[in-house]
Amino acid sequence: SSTSKRIQPGSCGRGRRGEGKAEVAMARARSARAIVHAAGRAFASQASTRTVAMEGNAARNAGQASKAAVWSALGVTAVGFAAWMPLAHAKEQEADLEQVKKMICQVIEDDPDMGPTLVRLAWHTSGTYDKTTGTGGSNGATMRFTPEADFGANAGLHLARNVLEPIKKAHPQLSYADLWTYAGCVAIEEMDGPTVAWRPGRVDKGPESCPPDGRLPDGEKGGPAGTTQHVRDIFYRMGFNDREIVALVGAHALGECHTDRSGYKGPWTRMKTTFSNEYYRELLENTWTLKKWNGPPQFEDPTGELMMLPTDMALIWDSDFRKYVEMYAKDQDLWFSDFAKAFQKLEELGCDMEKPWW
């Protein structure tokens, strides 16, 4: 069997490590200027807006002596380094994960906006898990089929699935389920985020294993109280606590909403392809008012350039959520650590991994 390769930090991609602080500083400067300009325009026009209150309530027993070499060679591959933990299943043929990583990095190099989309694919393929029934989750990669591919929450994710097809063809021994989750981890690190430990072992399943619709979060659920409860219902169903919820939702630092997909419009931060704690800072330090438009309920900052969903606002409406928002806004390293653990847990829910670390 082939040997798992250690993947070293900076071995591929745009080499963006270290650029994050400069980008954060520039984004904050742009944000401040934009808010000042917007305030001036609002004063001049005497426009009135209703300010929303910001407070609120390798292998499992790989064999005997003949397999000893496999056991010593295989481990859990972490994006950027090797973390040695048992695999779910030893495979006689392993994908060259270093080469897979390079190909994923090239995808992001060619189209930086694909980085957030790959993270969303990994999130949505994993976020259907139900701890009560043991169904859903990343194991199976059932978003390849209808009805899951057509769920409203998955609109636009065909772009990420399609762009990964050449990688799957080049490495057929890697399951779709492993490829999609691995791509999410690579994308996070490539966008200056934390290293998320990842290990293979997922298998692909058929359309009969598609989860029911409605297991992924909606943007709002009928007012602050209903929306806050909805957030908890979705994540508690998977087995997460409040701290893990706030850590995971911080991935909204990436990407933006599109009216032709979710119905919502705009980015959460001014650095939509950089993984940073700006999402939490914007939630706390910006002013959010209900957007006046013909679309679904969402909030906008004074410039009209940034937006938050009602489910984002729930993190500061609810005091138990808010304390973690405040923690992560002050300490990016703490958030990175918490996010990496929670995202690994998310990607492994429902998978046949040996003795989950959590």
Q: Return the DSSP state at 241.
A: -
- Percentages helix, strand, coil for the chain (3-state, rounded to 5) are 50, 5, 45
Active-site entry in 124, 171, 230, 252: 124
- Backbone angles phi and psi of 205, in degrees to 5: -125, 175
Residue 22's pLDDT band (cuts 50, 70, 90): low
Annotated catalytic residue 230: no
275-306 tens-digit pLDDT: 999 999 999 999 999 999 999 999 999 999 99
- Backbone angles phi and psi of 268, in degrees to 5: -85, -30
Residue 93's pLDDT band (cuts 50, 70, 90): low
Higher pLDDT, 191 or 85: 191
Q: Return the DSSP state at 147.
A: T
Contact 301, 330 (CB under 8 A): no
Taking CA atoms, 206 is separated from 141, 194, 203, in Å, by: 9, 33, 10
Grouping H, G, I as helix, E, B as strand and the rest as coil, residue 224 is helix
pLDDT for 149 equals 98
71-91 tens-digit pLDDT: 334 344 444 433 333 333 434
Annotated catalytic residue 158: no
Residue 110's pLDDT band (cuts 50, 70, 90): very high
233-271 tens-digit pLDDT: 999 999 999 999 999 999 999 999 999 889 999 999 999
Count, residues in the chain: 358
Higher pLDDT, 257 or 357: 257
Active-site entry in 123, 180, 198, 268: 268
Which range has the worst mean pLDDT, 10-19, 73-82, 261-270, 319-328?
Answer: 73-82
pLDDT for 171 equals 96
Grouping H, G, I as helix, E, B as strand and the rest as coil, residue 220 is coil
